[in-house]
Amino acid sequence: MKSVYYASVAYAFVRTLGNRSLRPTTLRCIFSIFHNFFFSQFCFALLPGRVPVNRVDHPLDRKIPFTPKWVTIYIDFVPYWIRMLTFLLQTYGSRSLDAVRKFISEMGRLYKFAAKVYRKNLSTTERPFYIAHPKFFMIHFADPHLMCIPSLHVMVVVYTYAKFAAILRSLGDAESRAAQIEEMRNGALAICQAILFVKQHSVNCIGASIYVMTRFDPELFPPEKAEAFCSSLFERLPDSLGAPGTKLPEEDIAEIRAHITDSYRRFQQEGQTSKSWEEPILNFLRQSPKM
């Protein structure tokens, strides 16, 4: 099996920035990521008070132990989607250029989409100050931890694995690449679990973020796919991912899954009668404790 996991990250950068048809889209995407996440968040952190900040923790978070060894999976969420581009470009060459261009464009739009909430209401969770591992030092340095809902970690990996399968279907190769599609799905699940084990997010963040994904691209990620993804969290992941095994009691896993699914359903139901997709998210944030 040709693995997506071992595809080169550097190759995607070289190809997308070196190709005249891909370069403008790639640069716009990079700008969107830095502007809507890093630049905006540091502005909010350095100039507090302009946007309210609410805590979005849930009592179930205490049932998930802080587990630093999950950090490698956690920080993989950007290489995760870049490796997918390498796989497409190396496997399908010019046949994949249009799909790659559209994916990169949509990734930039994804960050802009999430920022509609951040500009109106920020959110945070209780995060332990842990810098014994260099990767945690980088996390604390680069992330002021004010953009928890919606979680871009969740949105990025869910969009990537769902779009990967859709692109392969459009190329007529989904059946023969079923193993790679499953690999990407498992990677998305692993990263969504990692955000909980390293305490970068709450269980509240996942249901809300999956709801946002169904509004970002309803055709790609409809409610039935969203609920199936929620119900798969904390399942046994392949050893090839390098994800530490979960030791949570089965009753706790069932309770966490049920909460995530129920919160997704509440957002989805409220969103059907709301004036805008972000209204249910903002209502939830405003009802949460202020920082």
CB within 8 Å of 32: residues ≥ 6 apart: 108, 109, 111, 112
Q: What is the pLDDT at residue 238?
A: 61
Distance CA 209, CA 95 (A): 32
- Residue 180 token pair: 């790679």
Provide φ and ψ at 132, rounded to 5°: -65, -25
Give pLDDT tens digits along the chain (291 positions).
Answer: 589 999 999 999 999 999 999 999 999 999 999 999 999 999 998 888 899 999 999 999 999 999 999 999 999 999 999 999 999 999 999 999 999 999 999 999 999 999 999 999 999 999 998 888 889 988 888 889 999 999 999 999 999 999 999 999 999 999 999 999 999 999 999 999 999 999 999 999 999 999 999 999 999 999 999 999 999 998 876 665 666 766 789 999 999 999 999 999 999 999 999 999 999 999 999 999 998
Which of 221-258 are b and which e, b meaning 16 or more Cβ less than 10 Å from the residue's Cβ?
beeebbbebbeebbeebeeebebbebebeeeebeebbe
282 bridge partner residues: none
Distance CA 63, CA 252 (A): 7
Q: What is the pLDDT at residue 291?
A: 82
Helix or strand or coil: residue 148? coil
**DSSP-derived pairing of the beta strands 122-124 and 53-55:** parallel
Please report how many Cα atoms fall inside a 13 Å half-sphere around the Cα of residue 44, on the Cβ side: 23
Q: What is the pLDDT at residue 248?
A: 86
Whether 108 contacts 184, CB under 8 Å:
no
Helix or strand or coil: residue 122? strand
Distance CA 231, CA 288 (A): 25
Helix residue ranges, H only, 198-249: 203-216, 223-232
- Residue 24 token pair: 């403008």
Helix or strand or coil: residue 218? coil
Q: What is the pTM of this model?
A: 0.94
